[in-house]
């Protein structure tokens, strides 16, 4: 089972590389990522969260599993919504993030290297943006428009202290 990399591990801040080879290793990794995502009750997971700096994400918002390779957002538009987001790399932290979720158009390769263009709205549109952010080293705590305080702030401090203790 893959381990989840947690904040503030600096590897979460590095941009990921494009996948160039759609081989058996990629299939195995994407399956392991999906397994980890379900085990930890996530609805999305990006490869850097399991220590792999490649542009791979898995998503399941209740409409089936997507394994997306080299996802690229083409358009973000429509209505804006504020929602508390969580992240497997920031366990116990929830922060409000305002995102446009009316229509997100993105392209990605499937696990076999076949390109496809997608349209998403609602929760899927949000999760895609959250996960693609991970591939660029961006975390939801960078996206929140409100000062982080209270429980979220305490939890972030605890994660930082834990990381300092273990490293
Ligand atoms: Ni996340």
In a domain, 46, yes or no: yes
Rounded Cα gap, residues 24 and 117, in angstroms: 23
In a domain, 5, yes or no: no
Residues 63-78 have pLDDT tens digits of 999 999 999 999 999 9
Q: Give 130 Cα–ligand 1 centroid separation in angstroms.
A: 6
In a domain, 3, yes or no: no
Rounded Cα gap, residues 151 and 156, in angstroms: 9
Owning domain of residue 152: 10-166
Residue 25 has pLDDT above 90, yes or no: yes
Q: Helix H segments across 40-121? A: none
Tell me whether the omega of the peptide bond preceding residue 72 falls within 30 degrees of 0, making it cis: no
Q: Give 110 Cα–ligand 1 centroid separation in angstroms.
A: 21
In a domain, 4, yes or no: no
Residue 43 has pLDDT above 90, yes or no: yes
Total domain count, the chain: 1
Residues of the chain above pLDDT 90, percent: 99
Q: Give 157 Cα–ligand 1 centroid separation in angstroms.
A: 18
Out of 131, 149, 151, 161, pick the active-site residue.
131
Q: What is the CA 78 to chain-centroid distance, rounded?
A: 21
Told to judge if 85 belongs to the known catalytic residues of this protein, a careful annotator would answer no
Rounded Cα gap, residues 33 and 86, in angstroms: 18
Q: Give 137 Cα–ligand 1 centroid separation in angstroms.
A: 10
In a domain, 43, yes or no: yes
CATH code, domain carrying 98: 3.90.45.10
């Amino acid at each position: 089972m893959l381990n989840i990399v947690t904040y503030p591990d600096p590897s979460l801040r590095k941009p990921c590389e494009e996948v160039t080879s759609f081989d058996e290793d990629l299939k195995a990794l994407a399956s392991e990522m999906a397994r980890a995502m379900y085990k930890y009750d996530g609805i999305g997971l990006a490869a850097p969260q399991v220590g792999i700096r490649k542009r791979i994400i898995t998503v399941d918002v209740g409409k089936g599993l997507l394994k997306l390779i080299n996802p690229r957002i083409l358009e973000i538009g429509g209505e804006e919504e504020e929602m508390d987001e969580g992240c497997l790399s920031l366990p116990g932290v929830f922060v409000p993030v305002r995102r446009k979720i009316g229509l997100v158009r993105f392209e990605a390769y499937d696990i076999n290297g076949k390109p496809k263009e997608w349209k998403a709205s609602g929760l899927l549109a949000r999760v895609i943006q959250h996960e693609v952010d991970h591939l660029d080293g961006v975390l939801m705590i960078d996206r929140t428009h409100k000062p982080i305080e209270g429980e979220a702030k305490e939890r972030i401090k605890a994660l930082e202290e834990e990381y300092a203790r273990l490293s």
